[in-house]
């Protein structure tokens, strides 16, 4: 009777075990079924470009003004004008300074007259000295023969000494007059220079970007009157992420697109790389000289730059999204080897503008690189290549 009771439970347990076994086997088979993957193929002639966002700037930009202060009485240039080097741009009121120049010129004339007077006095002193010297010589000869008294001889010697001293004084007066002339000429030069400072001239061939003051304004020394840029000194300033800037060098080709002219293609080359990066944005400044700039440039306009840093003859590229643990130099990727998935640590070099990485080391021969990850990946799993996805 007991045996008859146990048989139904035994059958039920056996059935449940069989179901569990079949279900587990199904899960195992499903989890290890060959899955479809996409792999990278060898590509040729791949340009490696680095993107940078920046603006149009001018290499030579000057805010020019006067070195002195006065009322602005003349303006000869305006916004958008092209001016030549040395061309007069503006003038200040010169009345007071012209009076100072006239006074300095008069001082020069007086100094020259004083020199002539000093020369005449010196000639007179020399003549008197020569006369007194001859007279003293005769008297000294006569005193020895008792023709003249000793007192007369002493007086003539004294007169010679006085005449000699007068010559020295006349020479000193002449040197003083010459020094006064030099001082007057220096003062005249100074006043004429100050007069010249009231005329503003273009320091180079330039384009007037902005006029800051109007006629009648009383300006201070150093106030900007015009903003100028040198003709042909336009260049682009690109800000490039430090992580992408390592391969940029002078002379590399650049493609650019102006925000106001998105349909036009502009080219250039790298002419300077800033030696100091921005500590906040972690960007490097790259300066680009254009080959075919538009006829009119607007400073500060936004520009997109693509700098060609390399051209790969042949390479295998993997999307950065398919790389695990990427640190800028190496990372882990999935490969297909003998129809099974494997995980490899490889080295990278260049990164393309579409965020694909060039594999340089660590990839076994005949291994295929998986370009898209899946949750079911594990080492040793069978896969099949999705040919359609690789084209």
pLDDT by residue for the chain (391 residues), tens only, comes to 444 445 576 677 777 776 667 666 555 555 556 788 889 899 999 999 999 999 999 999 999 999 999 999 999 999 989 999 999 999 999 988 999 999 999 999 999 999 999 999 889 888 888 887 877 777 777 766 666 667 776 777 787 788 888 889 988 988 999 999 999 999 999 999 999 999 999 999 999 999 999 999 999 999 999 999 998 888 999 999 998 899 999 999 999 999 999 999 999 999 999 999 999 999 999 999 999 988 888 899 999 999 999 999 999 999 999 999 998 899 999 999 988 899 999 999 999 988 999 999 999 988 999 998 888 888 888 888 886 445 4
- Residue 355 sits in a domain whose CATH number is 2.40.420.20
Q: 140 and 81: one domain? A: no
The reply to whether the predicted model has a pTM over 0.85 is no
For the chain, give the number of residues: 391
Cβ-contact 381, 35 below 8 angstroms: yes
120, 171: one domain: yes
Boundary residue ending a domain (143, 174, 196): 196
Q: Do 134 and 156 share a structural domain?
A: yes
Q: Is the domain of 71 the same as that of 219?
A: yes
Residues 147 and 271 reside in one and the same domain: no
| Three-state secondary-structure class, residue 380 | coil
Q: Do residues 75 and 320 touch, judged by C-beta distance below 8 A?
A: no
Instruction: Tell me: do 183 and 322 sit in the same domain.
Output: no
Say whether both 118 and 168 belong to one domain: yes
- Give the separation between CA 318 and CA 363, rounded to whole angstroms: 12
Task: Name the domain count of the chain.
Answer: 4
What's the Cα-to-Cα distance from 35 to each of 337, 372, 383, rounded to whole Å?
14, 12, 5
Q: Domain check: are 130 and 180 in the same one?
A: yes
Residues 144 and 282 in one domain: no
User: Do 86 and 103 belong to one domain?
Assistant: no
Q: Indicate whether 24 belongs to any domain.
A: no
For residues 120 and 114, what is the distance between their CA atoms, to the nearest angstrom? Answer: 10
223 and 76, same domain (yes or no): yes
248: domain CATH number? 2.40.30.170
Instruction: Look up the domain containing 125 and give its range.
Output: 95-196
**d(C-alpha 166, C-alpha 168), whole Å:** 5
Nearest 5°: CA angle at 92, between 87 and 96? 130
In a domain, 251, yes or no: yes
Q: Are residues 122 and 178 in the same domain?
A: yes
């Amino acid at each position: 009777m007991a045996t008859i009771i146990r048989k139904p439970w035994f059958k039920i347990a056996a059935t449940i075990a069989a179901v569990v076994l079949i279900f587990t086997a199904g899960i195992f088979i499903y989890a290890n079924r060959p899955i479809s993957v996409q792999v990278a193929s060898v590509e040729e002639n791949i340009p490696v470009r680095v993107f940078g966002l920046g603006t149009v700037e001018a290499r030579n930009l000057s805010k020019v003004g006067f070195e002195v202060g006065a009322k602005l009485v003349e303006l000869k240039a305006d916004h958008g004008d092209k001016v030549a080097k040395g061309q007069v741009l503006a003038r200040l009121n010169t009345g007071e300074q012209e009076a100072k120049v006239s006074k300095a010129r008069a001082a020069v004339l007086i100094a020259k007259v004083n020199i002539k007077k000093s020369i005449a006095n010196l000639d007179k002193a020399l003549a008197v000295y020569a006369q007194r010297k001859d007279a003293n010589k005769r008297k000294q000869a006569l005193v020895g023969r008792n023709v003249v008294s000793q007192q007369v001889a002493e007086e003539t010697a004294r007169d010679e000494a006085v005449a000699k001293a007068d010559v020295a004084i006349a020479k000193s007066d002449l040197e003083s007059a010459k020094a006064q002339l030099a001082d007057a000429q220096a003062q005249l030069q100074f006043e004429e220079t100050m007069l010249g400072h009231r005329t503003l001239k273009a320091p180079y061939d330039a384009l007037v970007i902005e006029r800051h003051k109007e006629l009648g304004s009383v300006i201070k020394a150093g106030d900007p009157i015009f903003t100028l840029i040198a003709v042909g000194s336009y260049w682009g300033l690109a800000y490039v992420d430090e992580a992408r800037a390592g391969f940029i060098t002078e002379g590399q080709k650049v493609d650019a697109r102006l925000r106001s002219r998105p349909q036009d293609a502009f080219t250039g080359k790298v002419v300077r790389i800033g030696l100091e990066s921005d500590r906040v944005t972690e960007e490097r400044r790259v300066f680009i000289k254009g080959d075919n700039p538009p006829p009119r440039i607007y400073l500060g306009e936004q520009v997109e730059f693509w700098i060609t840093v390399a051209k790969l003859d042949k390479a295998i590229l993997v999307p950065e999204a398919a790389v695990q643990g990427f640190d800028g130099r190496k990372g882990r990727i999935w490969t297909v080897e003998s129809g099974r998935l494997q995980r490899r640590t490889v080295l990278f070099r260049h990164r393309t503008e579409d965020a694909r990485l060039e594999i340089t080391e660590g990839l076994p021969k005949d291994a295929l690189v998986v370009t898209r990850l899946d949750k079911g990946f594990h080492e040793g799993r069978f896969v099949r290549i999705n040919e359609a996805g690789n084209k």
